[in-house]
Structure 1
Amino acid sequence: MTPVLDVRSVTKVHGSGDTAVHALRGVTLRVERGDYVAIMGASGSGKSTLMNIIGCLDVPSAGRYRLDGHDVGGLDERRLAILRNRRIGFVFQSFNLIPRMSAQANVELPLAYGGVRAAERRRRAVAALREVGLADRMRHEPNELSGGQQQRVAIARALVTAPTLLLADEPTGALDSRSTGDVLHLFDGLHRAGRTLVIITHEADVAAHARRIVRLVDGRVVSDQPRAGAVR
């Protein structure tokens, strides 16, 4: 079966000459369908750069990256945007919800960009909000929701396109401990349902929910191991 992510010997260099910064130094990473991976690293380790490449928000300086069998390096910006919209569901630390739009309208946005008709957008948005436990908050605007509820709306928005990969960048960084637990419990359920998840985090308690932990130091993978007790 084709892996969801196939990253091989990827490097990323910013600048040139004496001022060049080597953000990634030959990273190789493979993520199979249904896997749940946490990518960990301190500030400056390269984890954000790797997330941008995995998410098709940036391209490597060298090496190869395939997303769901598609060679990302060979795509122009338009095709890259289409692949990103159809294959990846993003969850960010800051939620990135649109103020003065209801939860349902926020969740519908990726489908609107994809040209999905209004009735189908509504149906899929309602289903996604139910999946994250917010069936009773569909008409609420972001400022009427708690931080944890806003992040669950963001997760519903990420799920509504039925993406191949759910990619989360520090998804609990702006949440209190109770909301963090709720979001991590939701991720656990999505994994059990067969979703493929990659979480970028520097928090060990967040990574502990993943099935596998990848550690980056100075742009290199220094360990890639199943979490203690996880069944591979």
Structure 2
Amino acid sequence: MKPPAKRGEASAQARRTTAHAEPHPVLRVQDLFMIYGEGDAQVQALRGVSLDVYQGDYVAIMGASGSGKSTLMNILGCLDVPTSGRYLIDGVDVGALDERRLAILRNRKIGFVFQSFNLIPRMSALANVELPLTYGGVGTAERRTRALAALDQVGLADRIHHDPNQLSGGQQQRVAVARALVTAPALLLADEPTGNLDTKSTADVLEILDQLNDSGRTIVLITHEDDVAAHAKRVIRLVDGQIIDDLRQAPVDGPPPRPLKAAR
């Protein structure tokens, strides 16, 4: 009789089992164009972007200001509509949805983490994390249970009753990550999640994202920092609204690269 697998071995075995299943594109965009303005003032923010992101991947999208990365993120988050092209999330054609169904999809399928945290100032960490569930019509008891679990997952079980102004920047961003996770979304979108954080808080948030991806969470983040992108399994670079580089740093069904921390 074989001895029970250790935690790391069990995690690797689970990934191998998943790898034998048919790959599942959580996110698919085909020939996306985004055009602003008309005539001589017309600007093509995106020019024929096509991209598949599979379950369990961790993708960093990089580019200079004006490259189109923020426009692409807004489309992926269903916050904007492309001029042309097709976008599917978890197999659902976003362009075929009316406003009500789009709002439901956004609430259930996508978790957002913003650079500026976007927490409600006069609400506790717990209440902030419960918000997406409130909008989704989840009952009080289940809301509380899921929000507590999400805050525990990001290491803030002892800060649940603190308002945002009683938390550090890194702690506020961890609340934002918990809020993004609480609906168990198919996709976690992070827009410059470490942009307002110091070095220690950046490392803490990136470690949480690594752990989430290692447990199977699909993550797409925007960053202009190479050190942040080094945590991703795949790095995509945009220039003038087009993908010019697509680098695979680690397999989809393996752990994230987890770069070595610099010596202190």
The Cα shift of 1:12 comes to 0.4
RMSD: 0.8
Cα distance in 2 for residues equivalent to 1:154 and 1:63: 31
SS in 2 for 1:90: strand
2:231 corresponding residue in structure 1? 209
SS in 2 for 1:149: helix
2:11 corresponding residue in structure 1? none
2:217 corresponding residue in structure 1? 195
Counterpart selection for 2:65 from 31, 43, 65 = 43
The Cα shift of 1:209 comes to 0.3
2:257 corresponding residue in structure 1? none
Structure 1, gaps ≥5 residues long: none
The Cα shift of 1:145 comes to 0.5
The superposition leaves residues 100-132 of structure 1 with CA deviations (integer Å, 9 ceiling, x where unpaired) of 211000000000001111111000000000000
Q: Is 1:73 the equivalent of 2:95?
A: yes
The Cα shift of 1:15 comes to 1.5
1:46-61 paired onto structure 2 within 5 Å: 46-61=68-83
Counterpart selection for 1:114 from 119, 136, 152 = 136
Cα distance in 1 for residues equivalent to 2:207 and 2:187: 18
SS in 2 for 1:162: coil
Counterpart selection for 1:34 from 31, 42, 56 = 56
SS in 2 for 1:161: coil
The Cα shift of 1:2 comes to 3.4
SS in 2 for 1:150: helix
The superposition leaves residues 41-98 of structure 1 with CA deviations (integer Å, 9 ceiling, x where unpaired) of 0000000000000000011111111011011111122211111111000000000000
2:259 corresponding residue in structure 1? none
SS in 2 for 1:4: strand
Runs of 4+ in 1 over 4 A off after TM superposition: none
SS in 2 for 1:80: helix
The Cα shift of 1:159 comes to 0.2
Report percent identity of matched pairs: 71
Output the amino acid matched with 1:84. R
The Cα shift of 1:231 comes to 3.3
SS in 2 for 1:29: strand
Structure 2, gaps ≥5 residues long: 1-22, 253-264
Counterpart selection for 1:125 from 135, 142, 147 = 147
* Higher alpha-carbon Rg: 2
TM-score by length of 2: 0.86
The superposition leaves residues 123-168 of structure 1 with CA deviations (integer Å, 9 ceiling, x where unpaired) of 0000000000000000111011000000000000000000000000
1:231 corresponding residue in structure 2? 251
Cα distance in 2 for residues equivalent to 1:2 and 1:70: 13
Count the aligned residue pairs: 230
Q: Is 1:4 the equivalent of 2:26?
A: yes
TM-score by length of 1: 0.97
Counterpart selection for 2:208 from 183, 186, 190 = 186
